[in-house]
Structure 1
């Protein structure tokens, strides 16, 4: 597996494990996440950590499965599916597409996520 495919695999493994530190360290120091597109973006490790911690707090349990992964050099696109359970016991299924741009070291420079955050969170609240 090349370093770019490895970064993408580690990204989703960190989400599944709720591993904030590993997830953040996959980004370049000035890496940016648009998750999802159309919402506020997060730049740099401090902002990324706050974002990931906030998303983790919304779920008692969440699982992500990469349905299709396409790596083209320093770029990648992933179609994924997820299932989550809120702290209130409500279960939700959602899906999306993430696109990655990585630097020569395999760090994520820019992530663009396409999924329905507002709709998913509304369902999660019951």
Structure 2
């Protein structure tokens, strides 16, 4: 995947989403990470919870095409990334959405906290066929 320059864990987050690789996707996170998906909902706590979410996302579509980063802005241990997501529902309807995620990295370079900003209601309406 070519695209914006990002730290390895953030790059792995996006590549693994496109490869539908739950282990690599959740493996980008620290063991005790927090994931706000999206912001405004209770955060997931821990890599295992992130993995469970990722598995449900990947298996909920046919196929999940992934998240594609378009821009990345790095400031210290923080990275803000704009992205587009794409998937096909099990009844063959396209789902497209976009957002911005802000990643905070720990001292080992893994994601310790991620905050995803996107319109969950608009996303869900597409999934539901509305």
**Scaled by the length of structure 2, what TM-score is found?**
0.88
Distance 2:109 2:27 in 1: 11
Match of residue 79 from structure 2: 76
Structure with greater helix share of residues: 1
Q: RMSD over aligned Cα, in angstroms? A: 1.3
Question: Please, which of 38, 41, 47 is the counterpart of residue 39 of structure 1?
Answer: 41
Encode CA deviations 1:12-47: one digit per residue, 9 max, x unaligned.
001111111111111111001001011121111221
Match of residue 112 from structure 1: 115
Match of residue 28 from structure 1: 30
Encode CA deviations 1:48-85: one digit per residue, 9 max, x unaligned.
11111112222212232211011222110000012211
Number of equivalent positions: 123
| Offset, 1:95 | 0.2
- Alignment gaps of 5+ in structure 1: none
Question: Please, which of 6, 9, 28 is the counterpart of residue 7 of structure 1?
Answer: 9
Question: Please, which of 94, 97, 100 is the counterpart of residue 100 of structure 2?
Answer: 97
Match of residue 66 from structure 2: 63
